[in-house]
Structure formats: structure tokens, C-alpha cells
Amino acid sequence: MKLFKQTLLAAAVLSSAGAMAQTTAIINAQIHTASEQGVIKNGSVIIEDGKIKAVTTDAATADVIIDAQGKIVTPGFIGSMNQLGLVEVGAVASSRDGNEKKGGITFDPSLAFNPKSTLIAYARKGGITRDVIAPSWGESPFVGLSSTVNLSGEFGTSVVDSQNAIIVNLGGTKDGSRAASLSEFIDTLEEQQTKIAKAKKSDKKDDKAEPSKKEQLLTAALNGEKPVVVRVSRAQDMLELIKVKARFGIDLVISGAEDALPIKAELAAAKVPVILSAMANLPGDFDSLNASLETAGELEKAGVLVALTIAGDSSHNVYQLRYDAGNAIANGMSREGALKAITSNVADIFNIEDAGSIEVGKAADLAVWSADPFEFSTTLEKVMINGVEVSTESRHDKLRDRYMAETNMPRAYTK
């Protein structure tokens, strides 16, 4: 018997206005909503026009029925702070488009996003349906802008929310003092704040001139309209950033945060979300002396909004996000908290309003799992993006099939 029984219950129904939208229902599922509804046992998700029409325990009718047979349905996972689709081979400079030395705050790498990257299909195998791509370095503390993409692999529609956060790098440097970059960050905010105040008071035409793109972005940050994601690791640096948040009213998010354990209460009180790797368990430098496998769980217990990402150059390994979440659970994070840390919490941080949870009106980005998605032995049975099932076949699968094929030729060849 096939794992999923898909039955066409009715042909397309025509009306005077034209064909009605086809509905799909995933029934007999254990639905982990990543919302206030929690876990719904023996529930159904009804999909229409790429959106979730209903989440119910009532009997479901639809044009297409998918019987989950008691298996787990979760929102599609959301990766973040990587360069998926912006890099193909790290050692080949022409395939790297995620960074620009002199880019600055206006640098938007999503213009180079490649929805056909071989890394995207591989990431989908891990239940990833969306991703927040971001530049990682540049000469200025302001290194550029992040964007949200879906992993449908389609040209023209994969970048769904460009320029959704400002990315800043602070902390220790190989040359000079960390104080210089922090001062530049503060001074830039202060200068823009002064410009805004001056323009409000002045009647001069020059003061009312159209602001530059940089000024528009800084104004959005100062108005709390656009998150400012700061990569930083040391506890003292994070405490300084909490002061910056209080002074300027920015929507501060800290990424990295390996040294966050000693100041978890301060982060919670200041309502500063944290994006971190659950696997950062050893000091990589003097900024991360308190790195621990327990950090994610301890921050969650303290009341910090936590999102999980992959450590290091994660572009090629977004696939393993669910395994990192499983390790976070093994080291003190709640199961619900770990699910939200790779779904709804990421959506909240980056203002992704139509994804991250299984709720009416949200995009039907869904993953169906053979068992607990945080267990290594569990397999992804089905993944949907905007209600459309997408393939989980990757380049790895194609290479396996090629080199495992029966042939009279040497193992490295096929007919």
C-alpha cells in the first residue's frame, strides 16, 4: 500500500464565473501548528489557492484528499542568515554573489538570487520551504540587506520579500578595535536621527529634499519599521547594543550570541530576539567563551525569543536545520520551542506574515514527516510550497542513481 492515498473526489466544477479553485485536504494528520493551537491530533488541513483555508478536526471534503495516516505535519521550516542561492561553489569566486566589500547598507544580494541553485533542492529535503538570505561581510559595519525567498525553484517568484532587515557586523576584528565599529554604528544612527529632527522643524526646501536610499533605510530602522540584525558574540557587546536599542528605539535582533548565557535575563528584559546555532558548543575565540549546547534552551526558559540557524558557512547545509533543532531539544529546549525556533519565531523576527505556522490565511508551506522530524531516522514524505507539492530530489540523489546503476562499464561510468 502506498504511504499516501491520493483520491480525486470530483472533477473540476464549472460555474458561470469560470472554474472553481481546486481544494486539497491533508487528513488523518498529527498537525504541529507552531501557533497557539499547538498540536492537533487526527486533524485536517484544507488548502485552496495556495493558502490554508481551514485547520480542523471535523470531517474534511475536498477535490483532492491526501491521507497522512496519522503522520506528522509541520509548517515548512525557515532557514536564516545564510547565502542559499547566492553561492554555488565556495572556492569559485564567480559563483559567489552574497557579499560586496564596499556594499554598505544599501547592498541587496537578492538581486543575484538563483532559484535553480543545486543547493536549493538539497535544502528542501530537510523540510525547508523558505529562507532568509543575508550578506555576511563588508568594509562597513552595515553590510547590507536580507531578503526572504521561497524554495520553489521558480524564476520570478522566488524572492518573496526583499530588503526586509538591515544586517550589521560588530564585535572583535583582526585589525583595530571593536569600539571603532560600534562607534560608527551609533554615530550613523545619531546623524540620521538629527537629520530627521532638523527636517521636521525646518521650512527650507533643501531640508525637505528626497532622502537617499541609505537615509530611507536608516529612517526605517529608527522608526522600528525594519529590524536591525547585528552579528555579535561577546556578552559585553550585546549589553552595549541593548543600550543602543533603548536610546534609538530600533527593532534590535542579535545573531550569533555565543556568549549570551551570562546575560539571558538582560536579553529577555530588553525583548531582544536571538538567532543562534544550537551546535555552537566550544569557544571559537575570546568573544565566545561561554558557548554551550544548553544556550538555546536556557534562553528559551528565560523568555528570549530564539531562532535557530546553522553555524558557519551554512549555505550548503541548511538541510540539517532539523537535526540542530533536535540537538537543542536534547540539551534543554522544549519540543514546541524548537519547532517555533525554525518556523514561527523566524517569521516573527523578519516580519514574514504569511508563513511560519499552520493557520487559516497563511501560505500552505507544509511538510509531512514519517515520524518525529527531529529524529535522525525520520524521512520527509511530502513538502508543499504555496500548496503545490515540490520535488525533494537533489543532485545528490541523481549522482547516487548514476553511480549505483548496473552497467558493464567501470563503476565511475554509466551507459
Q: Is the distance from CB of 387 to CB of 24 less than 8 angstroms?
A: yes
231-261 b/e (C-beta count within 10 Å ≥ 16 → b): bbbbbebbebbbebbeebebbbbbbbbbbbb
Three-state SS for 94? helix
pLDDT level of residue 300 (50, 70, 90 thresholds) = very high
Q: Which residue has the cell 559595519?
A: 141
pLDDT level of residue 405 (50, 70, 90 thresholds) = confident
Beta strands in 106-151 (DSSP E): 128-133, 142-150
Over residues 87-134, the pLDDT tens digits come to 999 889 899 999 999 999 999 999 999 999 999 999 999 999 999 999
Q: Which long-range contacts (CB under 8 A, 24 or more apart) does 53-57 make?
A: 53/23, 53/360, 54/360, 55/31, 55/358, 55/359, 55/360
Q: Any bridge partners for residue 256, and if so which?
A: 232
Res. 196: pLDDT tops 90 = yes
Amino acid residing at 343? T
Average pLDDT over the chain reads: 91
pLDDT level of residue 406 (50, 70, 90 thresholds) = confident
Model pLDDT, residue 312: 73
Res. 394: pLDDT tops 90 = no
Q: Cα separation of 3 and 42, whole Å?
A: 16
Model pLDDT, residue 207: 58
Name which residue leads in pLDDT, 31 or 17. Answer: 31
Res. 12: pLDDT tops 60 = no
Percent of the chain's residues with pLDDT above 90: 81
pLDDT level of residue 412 (50, 70, 90 thresholds) = low
Helix 235-248 to helix 178-201 angle, to the nearest 10 degrees?
A: 0
pLDDT level of residue 152 (50, 70, 90 thresholds) = very high
Q: Cα separation of 25 and 47, whole Å?
A: 6
Over residues 320-338, the pLDDT tens digits come to 999 999 999 999 999 999 9
**If you ran DSSP here, which 8-state letter would residue 84 be given?**
B
pLDDT level of residue 311 (50, 70, 90 thresholds) = confident
Res. 275: pLDDT tops 60 = yes
Model pLDDT, residue 313: 65
Over residues 200-243, the pLDDT tens digits come to 887 666 656 789 999 999 999 999 999 999 999 999 999 999 99
- DSSP structure string for 349-375: HTT-TT-SS--TTSB--EEEESS-TTS
Res. 1: pLDDT tops 80 = no
Q: Which has the closest alpha carbon to 145: 228, 220, 74, 84?
A: 228
pLDDT level of residue 20 (50, 70, 90 thresholds) = low
Q: What is the mean pLDDT of residues 294-298?
A: 98
Model pLDDT, residue 9: 33
